Amino acid sequence: MTSSVIRAASAPTLNVTEPAFGTETVSDFLRDGYWLEAADLTGDGKPDLVGYGLKIGEIYWYKNPNWEKHLVVDKIKEPVGMDFGDISGDGSNDLVVCYQLYGPGGTIHHADPEGGKIDWLENPGNAAEATGNWKRHYVGRAIGMHRLRVGHFTRTDRIQIIGFPIVAVEDVHAVLPVVLFTPTDDPRAEWDKEIISDTDFRMIHGVARKPGLIPGSPLDSVLMASDEGVTWLYYDADRNTWSWEHIGDGENGQFEQTTFKGSGDVDGGRIGDDPLAYVAAIEPFHGNTVAVYTRTGGDTEAAGWTRHLLDIYGDPNDNGEGPGHTVMCRDFDGDGDDEFLIGLRGPQPWQGAYYYKAVDLAKGLFLKWKVSEESVARIVAGDFHSRGVEDYATISYSVQHYFVAPKAQITLHPNLTPQGEGRQS
């Protein structure tokens, strides 16, 4: 296979700004690590950080800018994916978490038949003083719940949660229900549940909420990475039904060796006025392959997508897994176009964050740089120091039965890249 990546050193004449990031330790020597979220919990306009792992069952938030550590909740069984939004309606960000993924055995082969629960955690409203208790409110459940997104997916008058299981009790690769939860008049009561699809998707590992992609609609939509590859999922209000567009099949060449195929994590990048000019993916589940999908045939209903292979990081291990875990698109150099970051959990040398910059979308050409060395389970972005630029932060991957980083930590990388330069014409 050929790579569509141009190493930065091999293209010195291109007018592209080289990325530069600092390193600040938010918290080190973590007992476990998996999820990281960037949310303004104090109402001061600056994102704080929320981080945790699966084992201990304790969720902590870290107050910007000194990163004081405060407990949100404890004794929550195996918290996995998280998102945030103003669920209570009081103007502050609450947290939404899914938990109780596995039963005895602790892997994707052991889905808990009583698990897959979702709670929202109510911001006490005085988080700036780091006082008060975060109350837990039960939303609903679906076995194997692994990822969720908060937004407005079928209506704008009430906030909603869309949930994505990863495995079923019957089998790792069994078909899964994608579900939508909508609150009643009282969001503190159990929410109404609607099945979006229970016949079409398997092993859903990564999702990204994407506002502004549905023409003429204020509703949010989702990019989804699953056994089927990459899918754009959205609600068609004109037809009063859920629809989806298949963007690509993902990585299928390792299937005989690993039993995994498709896509593992995904995000979409803006270039100029196109809010979804490309889709970046780690493939397949816990994969080793970086790919980008670009549009072909113009911006019409008949348009398709072309897959460009960018990189392969190492070989699958004995469990059939590679080091890749997370993807995130954001405009880091301020030129109006999105770059993307890939997070590798390890072990070395396949560990850290890699930064990719589009050079020629039609040809699938990207420049890349390695911008951090720590194990990465998840990457989040935000203007953490109120400087008008996008920084990023990471949490290390430390999960029993999968990969345990030798030193798990939460790390902030302030953006030192010159802004507004080097846009490609």
From 146, 205, 308, 413, the catalytic residue = 146
Distance between CA atoms of residues 73 and 79, nearest Å: 11
Tell me, yes or no, if 146 is annotated catalytic.
yes
Place of tokens 């994505």: 164
Residue 309 backbone class (left: φ over 0; alpha: ψ -120 to 50; beta: rest)? beta
Compute the distance between CA of residue 73 and CA of residue 121 in angstroms, rounded to an integer. 8
Instruction: Quote the tokens at residue 232.
Output: 């754009």
Q: Are 8 and 359 in contact (CB under 8 A)?
A: no
Q: Are strands 5-7 and 365-372 parallel, antiparallel or unpaired?
A: parallel
Cβ–Cβ under 8 Å, residues 375 and 333: no
The three-point CA angle 46-357-353 to 5° equals 60
349 prior amide bond cis, ω within 30: yes
Q: How far is CA 168 from CA 11, 77, 174, 202, 238, in A?
A: 47, 18, 6, 9, 33
On the CB side of 329, CA atoms within 13 Å amount to 26
Residues carrying an active site annotation: 146
